[in-house]
Amino acid sequence: MKLLAQNHSFATARCSDFIDLTDDVLELVEQSGIANGVAVVFSPHTTGAIIINERERGFIADFHEMVGRLVPDEDEYRHDDTESRVENRDDTDHTVPNGHAHCRHALLGSASQSVPVIDGRLQLGRWQRVFFVECDRARDRRVLIQVLGE
């Protein structure tokens, strides 16, 4: 089995920013020389998800409004209560309240996505793109893209 992995760093601009990683995944599949296997795209963040969907402005605006309705950022979240909170208090990220961002990420439920590679081709559908979705504010982010197979 062959394996090729690469980290990609970038900065997001706002909540619900969609960073299109599809070309990076396609490049790594080509570089790997792997004909049959799988490409995995993984976010090591608890407030930034990986989703597969369409690159279309209307959808992205609809998505932003939907998550805002389901998980409003102005609600009260226990995660943001630094007085009663006992875990992970040394995380500097928590100087800015982001309970809503954790809930949005958990609702999406997708720290990673995997896409089959067959005959050297990534098997995305015609309109499918792989995105990092920012559930928090503008931040520096990293994703790991891994291709494995033979």
Q: Minimum distance from CB of 118 to Zn ion (Å)?
A: 39
70 vs 96, beta carbon nearer Zn ion: 96
How far is 86 from 106, CA to CA, in rounded Å?
20
The CA distance from 29 to 24, in Å, is: 9
With the C-alpha atoms ordered 104, 105, 110, 112, is the resulting torsion angle positive or negative? positive
Minimum distance from residue 102 beta carbon to Zn ion (Å) = 6
Q: Does residue 12 belong to the site contacting Zn ion (CB under 5 A)? A: no
DSSP-H helix ranges across 17-144: 22-32, 57-70, 99-108
* CB of 16 or CB of 32, closer to Zn ion: 16
When asked if residue 98 is in the footprint of Zn ion (CB under 5 A), the reply is yes
Site membership for Zn ion, residue 16 (CB under 5 A): no
Closest residue to Zn ion, Cβ-based? 98
Q: Which is nearer to Zn ion, 104 or 129 (CB)?
A: 104
| 3-class DSSP state of 23 | helix
Residues that bind Zn ion (CB under 5 A): 98
